[in-house]
Amino acid sequence: MDFAQGPVLFHRELRDGNSGYDLRLCEGWEVYLTLRGKGSVENAAKLLASLDELDRTFADSPPVACAIDLSSAENAPLRVQLMLGQWLLKKRHRIHKMAVFGGPPLPMKIARAVCTIARMEQVAFLDSRGEALGFLARAT
């Protein structure tokens, strides 16, 4: 089961020491976001700028399916959680389904808090990439 493996329509990446992100939109309106290391306000602002650019570039696209890989994530300050939650609240209509997976307990807890702030409904928090892709493949 492949996800976000088709031609890449949009790609942004940040490498900042041991932290950063990799954001891809692939054919089929599939977004794959990998978060690495400890989150910072500065890097969160850069991620949100990339997400805003993606949203503007594909403003007429249908809502996307989104897989978020936290397997290399560590922690994020409360301010970062609020920034991400507020952005997601404004843009949640652009996300059809979201699967968050692979993170240690603390990053997964943070992801749940962010999704609670955003009042996301079609979201699952899973252990593995395979489980996440299975969730995204199921009809709503």
- Surface-to-core class of residue 82, CB atoms within 10 Å of its CB (0-12 exposed, 13-18 middle, 19+ buried): middle
Domain boundaries along the sequence of the chain = 8-137
- pLDDT at position 32 is 95
Query: Which region holds residue 9: left if phi is over 0, alpha if psi is between -120 and 50, else beta?
Result: alpha
Q: Which CATH number fits domain 8-137: 3.30.750.24, 3.10.180.10, 3.20.20.60, 3.90.180.10?
A: 3.30.750.24
Q: What is the pLDDT of residue 140?
A: 59
Which pLDDT value is given to residue 104? 87
Which residues of the chain fall short of a pLDDT of 70? 1-4, 139-140
Sign of the alpha-carbon dihedral angle for 32, 37, 42, 44:
positive
**Predicted local distance difference test score (pLDDT) of residue 3:** 66
Q: Identify the pLDDT of residue 1.
A: 44
> How far apart, in whole angstroms, are the C-alpha atoms of residue 131 and residue 128?
5
**pTM of the full structure:** 0.91
Q: Which tokens in the block code for residue 11?
A: 């790609």
